[in-house]
Amino acid sequence: MANPTTRVLALLELLQSQGQISGRELAQRLEVDGRTLRRYISTLEELGIPLTSERGRHGGYRLVAGFKLPPMMFTVEEAQAIALGLLAAGSLGLAETTPAVLSAQAKLQRVLPANLQQRVRALSESTTLDLPPSRANGDNRLLLALADAAQARQRVRLSYRSDRGEVSQREVDPYGLVYRWGLWYMSGLCHLRQGLRSFRLDRVQAVQPLEQRFARPAEFDAAGHLNASIANLPRAFPVEVQLHTDLHSATLELGSSVGLLVPNPDGVRLNTRTDSLTWFARQLARLPFDFEVHQPPELRGVLREQARRLLRLAR
């Protein structure tokens, strides 16, 4: 950050994002001494940026209350990240996302210099993200309400419709949100069932924040819990397969949708349930590494049928 102009812009960004910040911390973040920092402060004041300063142990610099500037400068990498993020947002299955994305793209281009405008436009018009398509339209308001409650550690009351169409009232401590294969989920502690549960947001009919607060387990992994829950759904056949590979390769080939992947000394164990042994045999047959079926024994027979079919086709 050798350029003084870059440091002045960085100083302005720090003041906008941090609120009040001490002179010592500003000097450390900008890698300058106190005298140089005061010169940069004077530069901002000459540009008409209103600042206040307070002396003492808890003093520092801050922008005058209510003063805000729009983003003034993005690096190439920042502009690229924002443009790709806006493209990805269109695949998240939220009803109001498309007009919001178009509006945000227009605003972004208005505040960018000409060279970055061209790059952002090129990404937006020439790039396709082949993401899993949304399978349900979510409600932006429900998502934001649950995100706020999860951050504030605030219990909520859900009006929830099951897959059988039954509506129940649940008091839930929302631990986290997950977007998985075209659907939004909220995982948390359900007080009706007295245990951890995952809820599909397209089945949530209403969210009401409650006064009660909760403490989320420090190591809770919302995505991990959701994957384990789906792997243990009450389907017809429990499946256990030993994969002779590492966790990275297993995840790359199977993703998180097939079942629960657990590393062990022999490779990776796959635990799940399925209603179709034929479908599951096809998933195994395409793997580039060896595997061993532990259960159910019927799966071995289906695999043999698949192998005989392939040999017949090869002839």
pLDDT digit string, tens, across residues 278-298: 989 998 999 999 999 999 999
In whole numbers, what is the pLDDT of the chain averaged over residues? 81
pLDDT (0 to 100) of residue 177: 86
CATH 2.30.30.520 domain extents, the chain: 140-219
**Helix, strand, coil abundance in the chain, percent, nearest 5:** 45, 25, 30
Which DSSP letter does residue 100 get? H
What is d(CA 21, CA 10) in angstroms, rounded to the nearest whole number? 13
The residues that bridge with 293 in the sheet, in sequence order, are 241
pLDDT digits (tens, 9 = 90+) for 85-141: 777 776 666 655 666 677 777 777 666 777 777 777 777 777 777 666 666 656 678
- Quick one: pLDDT at residue 202? 83
Check pLDDT > 80 for residue 3. no
pLDDT at 232: 67
Is there a contact between 61 and 52 (Cβ–Cβ < 8 Å)? yes
Task: Write the class of the CATH domain 4-63.
Answer: mainly alpha
Name 260's bridge partners: 271
Query: In the chain, which segments carry CATH 1.10.10.10?
Result: 4-63
Say yes or no: domain 140-219 is CATH 1.10.10.10: no
The CATH architecture that domain 232-314 belongs to is 2-Layer Sandwich (3.30)
Q: Residue 223: name the closest of 190, 273, 263, 183 by CA.
A: 183
Q: Which of 79-88, 125-134, 255-264 has the lowest mean pLDDT?
A: 125-134
Higher-pLDDT residue of 75, 148 = 148
List where CATH 3.30.70 sits in the chain.
Answer: 232-314
User: Coil, strand or helix: which one is 256?
Assistant: coil
Q: pLDDT value at position 224?
A: 78
> What would the pLDDT profile of 175-203 be if each residue is shown by its tens digit?
988 887 777 888 889 998 888 888 888 88
Asked if residue 68 has pLDDT above 70, the reply is no
Q: What is the pLDDT of residue 132?
A: 64
pLDDT confidence band for 1 (50 / 70 / 90): very low
What distance in Å separates the CA atoms of residue 175 and residue 218, rounded to the nearest whole number? 10
Is the pLDDT assigned to residue 153 strictly greater than 80?
yes
Is the Cβ–Cβ distance between 226 and 248 less than 8 Å? no
Q: Which residues share a beta bridge with 183? A: 180
Question: So what's the pLDDT on residue 208?
Answer: 92
Could you read off the pLDDT of 4-34 as tens digits, one per residue?
Answer: 777 777 787 777 777 778 888 888 888 888 8
Q: How far apart are CA 108 and CA 89, in angstroms?
A: 15
Strand partners, 21: 61
Q: What percent of the chain has pLDDT over 70?
A: 83
Q: What is the pLDDT of residues 238-251, one digit of tens each?
A: 899 999 999 999 98
pLDDT-derived band of residue 72, with 50, 70 and 90 as boundaries? low
